[in-house]
Amino acid sequence: MKKIIYNPISFGLFVIFAILFGLSLTATSKKAKTTSAQLHQLESETRLLESMLASKSALASKSAQPFTKEKIAREELLLIKPGEVVIELPPITLESTQLKLTPTQTPLEAWLEILR
């Protein structure tokens, strides 16, 4: 037994085994760090999607109210209630008021004109 332990070949095999074990631990550590980073990214994406879902569900519940349904029916579908009269006004066109710029004198020109 003593010959096997103190044999240079067995010592070399032990060193090779220790190096391989260390490399294996390093690779496992890198995988754990990568997985942890991916987990944090997925958690942040999940929080973002949950907030978007909450806003969409609030909008959906708001649009399910009768007033909103009536507004959509009136504005987008152009529906009216029975007995109701709708007066359609022509679109308003605004005339562009262009400012007419008159050539103004610089202060120096004004003084020269006064002094002449």
Asked if residue 113 has pLDDT above 70, the reply is yes
89-99 pLDDT per residue, tens? 888 877 666 65
Which pLDDT does position 27 carry in this prediction?
93
Domain assignment of residue 49, yes or no: yes
pTM: 0.42
Residue 29: give the domain boundaries.
1-79
26-39 pLDDT per residue, tens? 999 999 999 999 99
Instruction: Output phi, psi for 83, to 5 deg.
Output: 85, 0
Q: How many CB atoms lie within 10 A of CB 98?
A: 6
Residues 6+ apart with CB under 8 A from 53: none
Which pLDDT does position 49 carry in this prediction?
96
Domain assignment of residue 73, yes or no: yes
Which pLDDT does position 100 carry in this prediction?
62
22: confidence class by pLDDT, cuts 50, 70, 90 = very high
Domain assignment of residue 85, yes or no: no
| Total domain count, the chain | 1
Rounded CA separation 69/79 (Å): 11
